[in-house]
Amino acid sequence: MSIPYNSPYRITITLGGIIKIVAVLALLYVCYLVKDVLALLFVALIFSSAIDPWVDVLQRYKIPRTVSVLFIYAVAAVVITAVVILLIPPISQQFGALAKNFPSYVDKISSGYNFVKDFTAQHGILERIKQNIGGLESNLTVAAGSIFTTVSGIFGGIVSFFIVLVVTFYMAVEENAMKKIIWSLAPPKDQTYLMQLINRMQRQVGYWLRGELILMFIVGFFTWVGLSFIPAMSEYALVLGLIVGLTEFVPYLGPIIGAIPAVFLALTINPVVALLVLILYIIIQQVEGNILVPKIMERAVG
């Protein structure tokens, strides 16, 4: 069916419209080319938004912003170093024991539960897992042969990390740095609105990140404590608590993913232990969802 010339649905293509479309496509292409740089800037913006309130607090006591940011960096470095020194050895030991004993755990699951045994045998899952874990030594040998690539990747990650730290430092020290840049680029009629929007975004992102970190710590800590009181699970309590804490960052699916390793290990012992572990995880998630999240994240979502 043809559309009459005077129809209100008539589409008019102008030179200005074409130029705008081309400009948008060109901008998207440029963003794609510098996506790594934009990602680093975004991470730096999140970090600066997280520490900015602390800098403001210190500034109220007449401490310069530069000194305040350096102090926060120093405190963070001390905390991270202490965590590494205290937790890495036991976590490494538990991960090593878990990797070593994993095939036997799968054997116990397979022999104790016929449906798992049939499924793993049919699809060759058990053999593949054993081959992957047993081939760690050969994989390390192959990795040693490509050491240049490995070192390059590590070096690139370190460089990116320091770039984020430097940009974060600049954003936090230079008060309203991002706002000044956007103010200079934005049309005059949109400047006030954009400043208000950026203020809200920075405030909400900072609250959200601090809230997530607090939730990750609390959930991971109580998972570690709870599993430590189950004798059959205490051997891996720390590493399982770490897994739960890290997966807490993933919305919705994180708690489920974090519970799978513990329930799997508990099934290798007996169903009663598995039930205890499942109950523990359910209690922690209920407390987190109904008490912790509303309180801790209230400012972020409100």
User: Do both 216 and 299 map to the same domain?
Assistant: yes
Residue 160: which domain range? 40-106+154-175
| pLDDT, position 1 | 47
User: Do both 171 and 183 map to the same domain?
Assistant: no
**b vs e for 30-43, b when ≥16 Cβ sit within 10 Å of the residue's Cβ?**
eeeeeeeeeebbeb
DSSP string, 8-74: TT-----HHHHHHHHHHHHHHHHHHHTHHHHHHHHHHHHHHHHHHHHHHHHHHTT--HHHHHHHHHH
User: Do both 197 and 300 map to the same domain?
Assistant: yes
Tracing tokens 């293509």 back to the chain, one arrives at 13
Which regions in the chain score pLDDT beneath 50? 1-2, 136-137, 140, 143-145
| pLDDT, position 137 | 46
User: Do both 198 and 161 map to the same domain?
Assistant: no
User: Do both 218 and 263 map to the same domain?
Assistant: yes
Q: Per the confidence metrics, is the pTM higher than 0.95? A: no
User: Do both 58 and 167 map to the same domain?
Assistant: yes
Token couple for 150? 């490995």
Containing 255, the helix (H) or strand (E) segment is: helix 253-267
229 inside domain: yes
User: Do both 160 and 199 map to the same domain?
Assistant: no
Number of domains in the chain: 2
7-20 confidence digits (pLDDT tens): 555 666 677 778 87
User: Do both 197 and 169 map to the same domain?
Assistant: no
Distances (CA, A) of 213 to 28, 52, 118: 33, 16, 42
58-99 confidence digits (pLDDT tens): 888 888 888 888 898 898 889 888 877 877 777 777 777 766
| pLDDT, position 222 | 92
| pLDDT, position 176 | 65
Distance CA 279, CA 266 (A): 12
User: Do both 192 and 283 map to the same domain?
Assistant: yes
147 inside domain: no
